[in-house]
Amino acid sequence: MSQQHTMASTDLPASKKKLLVTGASGLLGLNLALQLRDAYQVTGVFNQKRMHQTPFELIQGDFFVENTAEKLVAEVQPDVIIHCAAMANIDACEKDQEKAHYINGVVPGKIAFEARRNKIRFIHISTDAVFDGVDCGENGYHEEDRTNPNNVYAQTKLLGEQNVMDQNPDALVARVNFYGWSVAQNRSLGEIFFQNLIQKKPMMGFTDVFFSTLYVQNLVRILDRLIHEQASGIYHVFSSDYQSKYEFGVSIARRFGLDASLISPVSWKDSGLAAKRSPNLIMNTDKLQRLLGVSLPTQMESLENFYQAYRDGLPELLKKTGF
């Protein structure tokens, strides 16, 4: 484990809480660390992808190495941990089930235990894919609805949730689905649609897969609120409405002034994807809305923030931190 001090964190007021973000080289972790760096003293954990010019501290850690969680906690002594690191590629999880089981299923419990032992707030990032998407009812899946993961990624993420709650009942498990700008420029469906459309490449869009995805910066704002609320247990953190993946692609094309006819409407069953997908992941967010007392962003509001971040140069800024 090696530490790379990038900017003078000693300039920060002593009152700032220390936030440890795992998976800081990933889509969520990096956006989260960048967005919350003024509110917290942020340390981001990367594994293989070392970044540069990040305006927060970085530390290397591989969760396959024994005692990594203990060492990170001892070194950083955070007040809050947000655990974003995972094997998040669905097809990679099918290919390497043992690794997926360990990283997505076992490691979250180890970090949750360490957080509890050291009285650190712990937020674990999970997924809408814990549901099979067969029947979410009219109002979408609630937190307590029956889970039934239908691929290795989802099974291991569900195990991770269970281990977290077993080891640390005060932890918060946020089930999410998000998109945003990343270093690799292809880590989210939003970026993939954008990149293909801007290069005038034809794409498929599933008309029979529905989701309540949220732009990552909206997600981060809500996670920050949940930290302040000291929320614990499972929460659904999604947009207040939903779209099919086809409609999502068409909305992106329209907002960015690109050619929506490049996207062909297709069924996921004809796509040849290796892992089975959950077709109907409409998520109910009543519990979160009750806690926060605000309406959550709609798909269109979320997309507007994705567009504004593009106009403000976020993709270029992220490229500069590139691996």
Residues that bind ligand NAP (CB under 6 A): 23-29, 46-49, 61-64, 84-86, 88, 103, 125, 127, 157, 176-178, 187-188
Give the span between the Cα atoms of 104 and 85, in whole angstroms: 8
Measured from the CB of residue 4, what is the shortest distance to ligand NAP in angstroms? Answer: 12
Q: Report the residue number, 8 or 22, with the smaller CB distance to ligand NAP.
A: 22
Measured from the CB of residue 82, what is the shortest distance to ligand NAP in angstroms? Answer: 10
Which tokens belong to 199?
């290069």
Measured from the CB of residue 88, what is the shortest distance to ligand NAP in angstroms? Answer: 4
Q: Are 112 and 164 in contact (CB under 8 A)?
A: yes
Q: Report the residue number, 87 or 197, with the smaller CB distance to ligand NAP.
A: 87
Measured from the CB of residue 14, what is the shortest distance to ligand NAP in angstroms? Answer: 29
Measured from the CB of residue 157, what is the shortest distance to ligand NAP in angstroms? Answer: 6
Measured from the CB of residue 213, what is the shortest distance to ligand NAP in angstroms? Answer: 7
Q: Report the residue number, 252 or 293, with the smaller CB distance to ligand NAP.
A: 252
Q: Report the residue number, 177 or 321, with the smaller CB distance to ligand NAP.
A: 177
Provide the residue count of the chain: 323
Measured from the CB of residue 314, what is the shortest distance to ligand NAP in angstroms? Answer: 15
What crossing angle do the helices spanning 152-167 and 107-117 adopt, rounded to 10°? 20
Sequence-distant (≥ 6) Cβ neighbours of residue 274 within 8 angstroms: 90, 91, 94
Note the helical H segments in 176-215. 189-198
Beta strand extents in 208-297 (DSSP E only): 210-211, 214-215, 233-237, 243-244, 263-266, 280-281
Measured from the CB of residue 101, what is the shortest distance to ligand NAP in angstroms? Answer: 13
Q: Report the residue number, 1 or 134, with the smaller CB distance to ligand NAP.
A: 1
Sequence-distant (≥ 6) Cβ neighbours of residue 113 within 8 angstroms: 69, 167, 168
Which tokens belong to 300?
């269109």
Sequence-distant (≥ 6) Cβ neighbours of residue 182 within 8 angstroms: 26, 27, 30, 31, 188, 191, 318
Q: Report the residue number, 176 or 263, with the smaller CB distance to ligand NAP.
A: 176
Q: Report the residue number, 26 or 258, with the smaller CB distance to ligand NAP.
A: 26
Q: What is the CA radius of gyration of the chain?
A: 19
Q: Nearest 5°: CA angle at 226, between 222 and 227?
A: 120
Residue with nearest beta carbon to ligand NAP: 26
Q: Report the residue number, 24 or 120, with the smaller CB distance to ligand NAP.
A: 24
